[in-house]
């Protein structure tokens, strides 16, 4: 049963920032990170931007593994006993900790009319899947919420993109949904599909 002074549940950019912050304050404390993803933490914005324009995949990695942290990848925390300071993952592994950070991030809201053909675009695996589809001539659609910084926070517009990205270019069309149309997303979630 691994024991860590610091245990982080989550494998996104927030978890990586926590790893770096902890290392600045405590260079020797044992640290573990549990992530459902098969990859170490990476920058997510390039998945929907830079990688489609030809940016190298190697540029997305955040270097978390260089921070003297044990990565438990491809695992999901399933139970937490705060009084005993124990986390159990989906494979039955048990971790004990002195300090715990839950940095699990958000998940996209599933659309009620999804027949299984929608790719909910959040991870590197989702990017690779979508990239493979578009490179074989398939068309892809992307919907996301958009909050202009020049408008009040309550003013949201839903945008729809439809295109076939290839070789750094796409024939994307954007359509603003009519006023009142909503995906009922929370204000932190920008990418719904």
110-141: pLDDT as tens digits: 888 888 777 778 899 988 888 888 877 655 55
What was the pLDDT predicted at 113? 83
Task: Give the Cα separation of 20 and 26 in Å (integer).
Answer: 10
Q: Are residues 91 and 135 in the same domain?
A: no
Residue after which a domain boundary falls, among 102, 135, 170: 102
Q: Are residues 189 and 168 in the same domain?
A: yes
Q: Which residue range is the domain that position 183 belongs to? A: 107-193
Q: How many CA atoms lie within 13 A of 27 on its CB side?
A: 1
Count: domains in the chain = 2
Q: Are residues 71 and 128 in the same domain?
A: no
Q: Are residues 114 and 189 in the same domain?
A: yes
φ, ψ at 135 (rounded to 5°): -75, -15
What was the pLDDT predicted at 159? 35
Q: Are residues 156 and 84 in the same domain?
A: no
Q: Are residues 85 and 128 in the same domain?
A: no
CA distances from 26 to 6, 19, 72 (A): 10, 10, 21
What was the pLDDT predicted at 137? 66
Residue pair 156/116 in contact (Cβ under 8 Å)? The answer is no
Q: Are residues 133 and 93 in the same domain?
A: no
Return the minimum-mean-pLDDT range out of 30-34, 77-81, 95-99, 163-167.
163-167
């Amino acid at each position: 049963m691994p024991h860590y002074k610091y245990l982080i549940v989550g494998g996104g950019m927030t978890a990586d920032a926590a790893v770096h912050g902890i290392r600045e304050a405590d260079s020797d404390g044992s640290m573990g990170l549990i992530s459902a993803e098969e990859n170490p933490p990476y920058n997510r914005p390039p998945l929907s931007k830079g990688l489609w324009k030809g940016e190298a995949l190697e540029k997305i990695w955040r270097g978390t593994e260089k921070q003297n942290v044990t990565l438990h990848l491809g695992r999901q925390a399933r139970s937490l006993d705060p009084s005993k300071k124990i986390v159990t993952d989906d494979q039955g592994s048990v971790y004990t900790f002195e300090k715990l950070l839950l940095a699990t991030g958000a998940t996209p809201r599933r659309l009620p009319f999804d027949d299984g053909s929608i790719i909910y675009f959040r991870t590197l695996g989702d990017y690779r899947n979508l990239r493979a589809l578009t490179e074989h001539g398939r068309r892809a659609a992307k919907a996301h919420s958009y909050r202009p910084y020049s408008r009040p926070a309550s003013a949201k517009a839903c945008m729809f993109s439809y295109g076939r990205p290839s070789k750094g270019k796409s024939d994307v069309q954007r359509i603003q949904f009519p006023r009142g149309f909503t995906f009922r997303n929370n204000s932190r979630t920008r990418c719904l599909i």
